[in-house]
Amino acid sequence: MTAMNVSDIIEIVIGVLMTLFAVVTLFSRKIFTAVIGLSIISLVAVVAFIMMQAPDVAITEAVIGSGLVTALFVFTLHAGKEEGEKK
């Protein structure tokens, strides 16, 4: 374990987090949890992009992936909920 340095550890933490939340997204009972899980994966991916020296991609992923896409998911769920209540 001599070759292990800080960035390796961060990479492993990032990887485990992404895998964990991917599983949460697919198997959570509530659909809303899945959407939040997806958003977190995207945020963790932003850290991964910064680790790999890709600031352009990190900014884009942060704004689009974890911001706007999540908003679209939430709006879709919200609309479904409202229509469900009307019925």
Q: How many residues bind other proteins (CB under 8 A)?
A: 53
Per CB under 8 A, does 2 bind other proteins?
A: no
Question: Directed axis angle between helix 6-27 and helix 31-51, to 10°?
Answer: 160
Q: Calculate the alpha carbon distances from 41 to 6, 36, 66 in Å.
A: 21, 9, 8
Nearer to other proteins, 1 or 55 (CB): 55
Per CB under 8 A, does 40 bind other proteins?
A: no
Sign of CA dihedral 61, 63, 67, 70: negative
Residue 35 in tokens:
């959407």
- Site for other proteins, rule CB under 8 A: 8, 11-12, 14-16, 18-19, 22-23, 25-26, 31, 34-35, 37-38, 41-42, 45, 48-49, 51-65, 67-69, 71-73, 75-80, 82-84, 87
